[in-house]
Amino acid sequence: KAGVTQTPRYLIKTRGQQVTLSCSPISGHRSVSWYQQTPGQGLQFLFEYFSETQRNKGNFPGRFSGRQFSNSRSEMNVSTLELGDSALYLCASSLSRVNEQFFGPGTRLTVL
């Protein structure tokens, strides 16, 4: 069974630009969550989508947004990038409950 895949794996952007990250969950998983991981703040929850609806949201500014498609694939968008957005962005999928999540390898975003 294929795991969670994320594209691209690495990304370099400049301040003010926007970026879109993609996540394909494990087949059959309907819940997709996004996390930001930095050395200083650790793993922080961004949002969770289930059946194309945002079900939970963390404490991030509105520049961070996401969506989920009917095939459960999800995208995350960050607009007006700031230097502090440099991080590893992780996607995780689960059947229906966020407690049994399986993570992808992440997208490492560098903002210059």
Partner 1 sequence: QKEVEQDPGPLSVPEGAIVSLNCTYSNSAFQYFMWYRQYSRKGPELLMYTYSSGNKEDGRFTAQVDKSSKYISLFIRDSQPSDSATYLCAMSDNYGQNFVFGPGTRLSVLP
Count of alpha carbons within 13 angstroms of residue 88, beta-carbon side? 13
Q: List, in sequence order, every residue forming a beta bridge with 94; answer none if it has no partner.
A: 31
Please state the closest distance from residue 80 (CB atom) to partner 1, in A. Answer: 27
> Is 28 among the residues that bind partner 1 (CB under 8 A)?
no
> Is 59 among the residues that bind partner 1 (CB under 8 A)?
no
Which C-beta is closer to partner 1: that of 13 or that of 108?
Answer: 108
- Nearest-CA neighbor of 65 among 43, 83, 49? 49
Residues 6+ apart with CB under 8 A from 50: 30, 31, 32, 68, 96
> Is 74 among the residues that bind partner 1 (CB under 8 A)?
no
> Is 102 among the residues that bind partner 1 (CB under 8 A)?
yes
Contact with partner 1 (CB under 8 A) among 20, 30, 45, 67? 45
> Is 23 among the residues that bind partner 1 (CB under 8 A)?
no
